[in-house]
Amino acid sequence: MGRWMKPEVYPLLAAMTFVTSLSVFQLTRYMVKNPDIRIRKARRSMAVLDNAEEGEKYAEHGFRKFLRTRPPEIMPTINHFFSQDK
């Protein structure tokens, strides 16, 4: 790879790999877990899905429940450091 790829390209390659893998993960999660997407033939034949509890389970996942208990700060240590009066 050293012949045709310069070392300056490695950070860009790493960032693009990360973003692509994150996109693939999110799209796969959406396809598999979303109750509105119907891949199986049995579910496609139903005109109206009656799955309120499945939709609630999808929307209120564990990570969202965890974030509700956290303060809405991105970097709390830095925020407290700069907001203190000296």
Q: What is the pLDDT of residue 43?
A: 67
Total domains in the chain come to 1
Whether 49 is in a domain gets the answer yes
Whether 76 is in a domain gets the answer no
Q: Note the pLDDT tens digit of each residue in 14-49.
A: 999 999 999 999 999 888 887 777 777 776 676 666
Whether 30 is in a domain gets the answer yes
Whether 38 is in a domain gets the answer yes
| CA count, 13 A, side-chain hemisphere, 10 | 5
Whether 19 is in a domain gets the answer yes
Q: 51: exposed, middle or buried (C-beta count within 10 Å: 0-12, 13-18, 19+)?
A: middle
Q: What is the pLDDT of residue 12?
A: 94
Looking at every residue in the chain, the average pLDDT score rounds to 82
Whether 40 is in a domain gets the answer yes
Q: What is the pLDDT of residue 48?
A: 64
Domain that holds residue 25: 7-71
* pTM of structure: 0.49
Whether 50 is in a domain gets the answer yes
Whether 14 is in a domain gets the answer yes
